[in-house]
């Protein structure tokens, strides 16, 4: 069994020996998919530019072409990037050069943390106050519209900032009762309080705990979606966008050096516009440059170029929510909720346009390579028609877009609609950028420290315990292999500089178990036991001590992992893994070797 586990450990740590190939990665943007055709195209471009490549593959919706050196990587990016256009993102990547037979086992090399490979780490915070503010404003608007619709006359509806509530004032008790009943029924996720004042005919309405939680959740989720989209556009190979705690988002961009540009892109704004399709125009003529004065030509649209009215009927900041689902016929659809004002506008727009097509335009400002005199990248306005749908009936605050082909498309549309909606503002609260040279230095320093520390301990143990020291050293080496193997196996684990420090520390402490055992054996020998008995008793009586000592340290490591962030977590994970693997190698591993060497023989003297 020991041999099996060691083999598995070695197998999974093996990919770390092979290094990485510089590679070019191509992926689609906004639903565009990479295909065999694109792959052929990319390879042809590389041939034309006389750039040799090792291997190409199409998997996980991305094309990966391995190249021979980093110089070619840049050239290849230019050659491919120019021709593929806006719909595809070309990114530089490092592909692990793990041989196929290892990949077949699912083995992959360790992921390096940002402090080792260089890159940017942002911690962004969603402005929850603002998100809540918007919700309350929305509540006030909705109540007004609803009560008016119900013909309930109110004296005033306003937000009470200090009370975290909306106050609804009615004119008499009867209306107040009616309004309370109505609002409680209409909004099950709001709390209509009982402590209303009968003299003033007013009532306080609050959000339920659930609703507050949802609002916060939504604000963060929405921002994560938007940031993901933006990050994809940055062309970063393996970005990480992840929620952290209540209202924070971690963004990690390995390999990115231009932090200023990254910030701009993350902060770029996207909007949506609803427009009517221009009915009287001639696309052919417009394509030749004769665009009617009231229309605008959009070349990027789902079903070819289209003419839209110039007039914007509705903007995306009226969208409260957009969800993809299925209609009663099981067809994919996207349901959109507008705020009151938006609902009124939509209603006015669709009243006279039943049967006419309406278009949704997605507008984004993206930084370009050009810079203005102050060195700030110029922003380019990019407009895409993302959907054209025929208006079936007069629409209000809540409506659906149907006739979407696939549910993936519906999902994507909902994402885009939300991305264009009004969002809670976000700001960077923590940044850590590590330059590539420092990253490499950290790797080198870390590796030297591991090797030096390892070497010193090996020499010491050999010197002090002779042959048994050799056994302990074998266990220590196996331990190192196992730690790396386990780290490579756990998908989320990344190796950081404090992580390396954790490994170094484990190397120092891992021999402890063997020291405990060996000291016991010596003691037993001093008590005039036979060598075989001494070995047996040594292992047995040291076990509980080793277990206690390691469990307590393990507790410390787990707490570190649970509570700590960033560097602390990296350290905790290697420490915890190290404790587990060292227990195994130092007790089970050495016992196996000892049994193999000294077991079953009559020995007079032990080399310990």
Binders of another protein in range 512-571 (CB under 8 A): 512, 515-516, 519, 522-523, 526-527, 529, 533, 537, 541, 544-545, 548-553, 555-557, 559-560, 563-568, 571
DSSP output for 158-210: EEETTTTEEEEEESSHHHHHHHHHHHHHH-TTEEE-S--BTTTTEEEEEE-HH
Residue 468 within binding range of another protein, rule CB under 8 A: no
> Footprint of another protein on residues 363-392 (CB under 8 A)?
374-375
C-beta of 7 vs 456, nearer to another protein: 456
CA-nearest of 103, 78, 122 to 235 is 78
Q: Which of 7, 285, 452, 490 lies at the binding interface for another protein (CB under 8 A)? A: 452
Q: Decide: 337 and 319 in contact? Cβ < 8 Å.
A: yes
Nearest approach in angstroms of CB 529 to another protein is 6
C-beta of 486 vs 513, nearer to another protein: 513
Nearest approach in angstroms of CB 509 to another protein is 6
Residue 163 within binding range of another protein, rule CB under 8 A: no
Task: Please list, residue by residue across 368-403, b when 16 or more beta carbons sit within 10 angstroms of its beta carbon and e when fewer do.
Answer: eeeeeeeeebebeeebbbbbbbebeeebebebebbe
The pattern of x and - marking residues 261 through 280 that bind another protein according to CB under 8 A reads --x-----------------
Nearest approach in angstroms of CB 523 to another protein is 7
Can you tell me the distance from the alpha carbon of 553 to that of 403, in angstroms, rounded to the nearest whole number?
A: 60
Residue 17 within binding range of another protein, rule CB under 8 A: no
Q: Decide: 471 and 590 in contact? Cβ < 8 Å.
A: yes
Can you tell me the distance from the alpha carbon of 343 to that of 348, in angstroms, rounded to the nearest whole number?
A: 9
- Span of 228-236, 307-315, 410-418, 457-465 interacting with another protein by CB under 8 A: 457-465
DSSP output for 480-549: HHHHHHHHHHSTT-EE-HHHHHHHHHHHHHHHHHHHHHHHHHHHHHHTT--HHHHHHHHHHHHHHHHHHH
Nearest approach in angstroms of CB 514 to another protein is 10
- Span of 55-63, 253-261, 337-345, 400-408 interacting with another protein by CB under 8 A: 253-261
C-beta of 357 vs 567, nearer to another protein: 567
The tokens describing 514, both together, are: 């063997």
Nearest approach in angstroms of CB 10 to another protein is 23
Nearest approach in angstroms of CB 477 to another protein is 14
Torsion sign (Cα): 114, 115, 118, 119: positive
The pattern of x and - marking residues 409 through 448 that bind another protein according to CB under 8 A reads ------------------xxxxxxxxx-xx--xx--xx-x
Q: Which of 14, 416, 575, 586 lies at the binding interface for another protein (CB under 8 A)? A: 575
C-beta of 303 vs 526, nearer to another protein: 526
Nearest approach in angstroms of CB 594 to another protein is 18
Residue 326 CB neighbours (<10 A): 12
Q: Decide: 464 and 171 in contact? Cβ < 8 Å.
A: no
């Amino acid at each position: 069994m020991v041999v099996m586990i060691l083999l598995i450990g070695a197998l999974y740590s093996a990919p770390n020996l092979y290094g990485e190939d510089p590679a070019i990665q191509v992926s689609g943007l906004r639903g565009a998919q990479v295909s065999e055709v694109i792959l052929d195209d990319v390879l042809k471009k590389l041939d034309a530019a006389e750039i040799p490549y090792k291997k190409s593959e199409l998997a996980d919706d991305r094309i990966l072409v391995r190249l021979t050196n980093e110089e070619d990587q840049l050239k290849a990016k230019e050659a491919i990037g120019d021709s593929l256009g806006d719909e595809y993102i070309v990114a530089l990547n490092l592909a692990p050069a793990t041989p196929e037979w290892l990949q077949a086992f699912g083995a992959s090399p360790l992921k390096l943390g940002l402090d080792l490979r260089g890159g940017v780490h942002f911690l962004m915070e969603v402005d929850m106050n603002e998100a809540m503010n918007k919700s309350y404003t929305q509540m006030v608007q909705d109540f007004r519209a609803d009560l008016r619709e119900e013909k309930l006359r109110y004296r005033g509806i306003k937000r009470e900032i200090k009370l975290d509530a909306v106050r609804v004032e009615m004119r008499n008790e009867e209306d107040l009762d009616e309004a309370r009943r109505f609002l409680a029924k209409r909004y099950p996720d709001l709390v209509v309080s009982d402590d209303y004042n009968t003299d003033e005919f007013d009532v306080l309405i609050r959000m339920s705990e659930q609703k507050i939680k949802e609002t916060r959740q939504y604000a963060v989720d929405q921002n994560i979606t938007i940031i993901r989209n933006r990050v994809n556009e940055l062309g970063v190979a393996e970005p990480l966008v992840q929620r952290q705690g209540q209202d924070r988002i971690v963004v990690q961009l390995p390999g990115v050096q231009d932090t200023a540009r990254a910030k701009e892109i993350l902060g770029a704004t996207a909007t949506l516009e609803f427009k009517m399709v221009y009915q009287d125009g001639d696309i052919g003529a417009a394509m030749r440059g004769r665009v009617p004065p009231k229309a605008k030509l959009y070349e990027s649209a789902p079903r070819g170029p289209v003419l839209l009215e110039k007039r914007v009927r509705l903007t995306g900041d009226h969208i409260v929510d957009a969800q993809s689902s299925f209609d009663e016929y099981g067809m994919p659809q996207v349901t959109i909720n507008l705020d009151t004002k938006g609902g009124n506008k939509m209603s006015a727009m669709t009243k006279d346009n039943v049967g006419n097509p309406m278009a949704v335009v997605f507008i984004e400002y993206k930084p370009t390579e050009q810079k203005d005199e102050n060195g700030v990248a110029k922003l380019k306005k990019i407009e895409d028609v993302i959907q054209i749908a025929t208006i079936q009936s007069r629409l209000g605050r809540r409506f659906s877009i149907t006739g979407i082909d696939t549910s993936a498309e519906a999902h994507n549309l909902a994402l885009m609609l939300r991305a264009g909606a009004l969002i809670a503002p976000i700001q960077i609260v923590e940044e850590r950028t590590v330059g590539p040279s420092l990253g490499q230095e950290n790797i080198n320093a870390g590796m030297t420290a591991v090797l030096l520390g390892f070497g010193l301990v090996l020499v010491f143990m050999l010197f002090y315990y002779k042959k048994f020291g050799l056994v302990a050293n074998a266990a220590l080496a196996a331990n190192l292999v196992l730690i790396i193997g386990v780290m490579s196996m756990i998908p989320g684990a990344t190796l950081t500089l404090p992580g390396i420090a954790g490994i170094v520390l484990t190397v120092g402490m891992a021999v402890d178990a063997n020291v405990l055992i060996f000291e016991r054996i010596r003691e037993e020998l001093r008590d005039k036991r036979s060598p075989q008995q001494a070995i047996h008793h040594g292992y047995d009586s040291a076990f509980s001590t080793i277990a206690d000592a390691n469990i307590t340290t393990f507790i410390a490591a787990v707490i570190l992992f649970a509570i700590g962030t960033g560097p602390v977590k990296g350290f905790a994970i290697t420490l915890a893994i190290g404790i587990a693997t060292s227990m195994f190698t130092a007790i089970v591993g050495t016992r196996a070797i000892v049994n193999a060497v000294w077991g079953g023989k009559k020995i007079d003297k032990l080399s310990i």
